[in-house]
Amino acid sequence: MKYKFNPPGILKFMFSDFYWTTNNDKLLLTFDDGPIPDNTYQILNFLKSNNIKALFFCVGNNIRKYPEIAKSILDEGHTIGNHMYNHTNIRTVAKSETQKEIDQFNKITLKELNYKTEFFRPPHGRFNLATSGLMKQNKLKNVMWSLLSYDYKNDKNIVKFALENFLMKNSILVFHDNISSQPIIIDCLEFLVKEAEKKGFEFGDPAECLK
């Protein structure tokens, strides 16, 4: 399995406006796909008791379904990013369709949360040549990652292996706020905090990590 996401230099050069790691040598914790009942709250409680601020790449349709949970994310001082309205793989649709989903996402966050996000993560990590331009037009920063935890495989040992071997001080970590990782997510986060402490790495706030 590929835990470390370290694309070829040419790709990073071509997409140098994307974030692949943090800029301040701190760990950035990100959660994709929420919000969902119960799970988001247990993550929020964990973050609060560990004094960590995270970036939640929410699916617009989940914000529509669970606006109160999305509100709690913001109330607790975390950041919400755009993960498309329907979690669509943008490689499989026309640019106009991607734009439509970005707009739909903006509309629902404005309506339900009075909030405008500045961050974007493409579902499944898939993007194409049009993505950079689209980000600029929408004044969005595209946030990729450097360490995938594979938490959605629902196997703690895989996540532990990833963290023990591939955690770097400037890692952008991906976890999931979804049903697949729900049974193990808190154990994994506890392990992450211990591992970071052991290695002397600190967690940073999204805004300072992605300057």
Cα–Cα dist 206/156, whole Å:
26
**Comparison of 21 and 62: residue with beta carbon closer to Zn ion:** 62
**Distance between CA atoms of residues 210 and 142, nearest Å:** 10
Tokens of 129: 């040549």
Q: b/e string for 97-125 if b means 16 or more Cβ within 10 A?
A: ebebbbebbbebbeebbebebbbbbbbee
CA 55/CA 186 separation, integer angstroms: 16
Q: Scan residues 98-137 and list those touching Zn ion (CB under 5 A).
A: 123
**Residue 188 or residue 196: which is nearer to Zn ion going by CB?**
188
From the list 28-36, 41-49, 99-107, 139-147, the region that binds Zn ion by CB under 5 A is 28-36
For Zn ion, the closer of residues 32 and 196 by Cβ is 32
Question: To the nearest whole angstrom, how small is the minimum distance from the Cβ of residue 57 to Zn ion?
Answer: 7
CB of 44 to Zn ion, least distance (A): 19
Question: Which of these ranges, 31-39, 48-56, 191-199, 202-210, lies near Zn ion under the rule CB under 5 A?
Answer: 31-39
Task: Examine residue 33 and tell whether it contacts Zn ion (CB under 5 A).
Answer: yes
| Interaction of residue 151 with Zn ion, rule CB under 5 A | no
Q: Which of 20, 27, 32, 184 binds Zn ion (CB under 5 A)?
A: 32
Among the listed residues 106, 189, 114, 113, the one whose alpha carbon sits nearest the alpha carbon of residue 140: 106
Q: Which is nearer to Zn ion, 32 or 101 (CB)?
A: 32
Residue 89 C-beta: closest distance to Zn ion, Å: 10
Residue number with CB closer to Zn ion (140 or 196): 140
Smallest separation (angstroms) from Zn ion to the CB of 172: 14
d(CA 199, CA 22): 17
Would you state the structure tokens that stand for residue 197, as one six-digit string? 């402490």
Residue 28: how many CA atoms within 13 Å on its side-chain side?
28
Smallest distance, Å, CB 174 to Zn ion? 9
Residues paired with 56 in a beta bridge: 31, 80
Residue, CB closest to Zn ion: 32
In the numeric block, the tokens 């409680």 are attached to 45
Question: How many other C-beta atoms lie within 10 A of the C-beta of residue 141?
Answer: 17
Under rule CB under 5 A, how many of the chain's residues touch Zn ion? 3
In the bound complex, what is the minimum distance in angstroms from residue 178's beta carbon to Zn ion? 8
Residues that bind Zn ion (CB under 5 A): 32-33, 123
